[in-house]
């Protein structure tokens, strides 16, 4: 079974420069929490088999309202963590492509690596190549191959 992959950049988090603790612990701002809650409505009617996330608090928090609404667990994946290698991220994406509709919460650098890899293999990317916090890239999959990607602005 294959289905689209929803590649979500974590919602708005506090400023990295002002955060004095471990960056993995930096949480969403009030605006970010609103964006995370809005994902429930944005994805209304879409069925997910899995929710995968970077272990960073801001990524997990981005999916918490969706996980609660769908009674799904959030599975943490190191390949979605900030700074993960392109090879690891792409491998996880290819694995997820066979699981039906899957949503992944990650960071801008990981999304850019994935988009670069898809474009290098001739996958058509529709819309501006943006990475706004809380935005989504919907990646179409057919027979475990990526066929297109399209940008959805943040809610």
What local confidence, expressed as pLDDT, does residue 75 receive?
97
Q: Which ranges of 14-138 would DSSP assign to H, the alpha helix?
A: 30-42, 57-70, 86-96, 108-120
Domain of 29 in residue numbering reads as: 2-14+23-152
Mean pLDDT of 8-26: 84
> What is the reported pTM?
0.93
User: Given pLDDT bands bounded at 50, 70 and 90, which one contains residue 1?
Assistant: very low
What local confidence, expressed as pLDDT, does residue 15 receive?
78
Residue 123, pLDDT above cutoff 50: yes
> Is the C-alpha dihedral spanning 83, 31, 93, 67 positive or negative?
positive
Per the structure, the count of domains in the chain is 1
- Check which CATH number belongs to the domain holding 142 and give it: 3.40.50.1240
User: Given pLDDT bands bounded at 50, 70 and 90, which one contains residue 11?
Assistant: very high
DSSP single-letter state for residue 71 = T
- pLDDT, one tens digit per residue, over 65-100 is 999 999 999 999 999 999 999 999 988 988 887 777
Q: Could you tell me the CA-to-CA distances from 14 to 30, 95, 107, 131, 135 in Å, in that order? A: 9, 32, 14, 17, 17
Rg (CA), the chain: 14
């Amino acid at each position: 079974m294959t289905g689209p992959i929803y590649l979500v950049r974590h919602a708005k988090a506090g400023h990295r420069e002002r955060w004095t603790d471990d960056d993995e612990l930096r949480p969403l701002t009030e605006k970010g929490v609103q964006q995370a809650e809005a994902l429930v409505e944005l994805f209304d009617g879409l069925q997910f088999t899995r929710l995968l996330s970077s272990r960073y608090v801001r990524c997990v928090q981005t999916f918490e309202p969706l996980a609660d609404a769908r009674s799904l667990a959030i599975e943490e994946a190191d390949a979605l963590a900030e700074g993960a290698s392109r090879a690891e991220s792409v491998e996880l994406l290819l694995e997820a492509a066979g699981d039906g509709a899957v949503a992944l919460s990650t960071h801008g650098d990981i999304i850019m690596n994935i988009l670069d890899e898809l474009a290098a293999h001739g996958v058509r990317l529709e819309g501006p190549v943006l990475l706004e916090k809380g935005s989504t890239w919907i990646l179409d999959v057919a027979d475990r191959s990526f066929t297109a990607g399209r940008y959805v602005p943040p809610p």
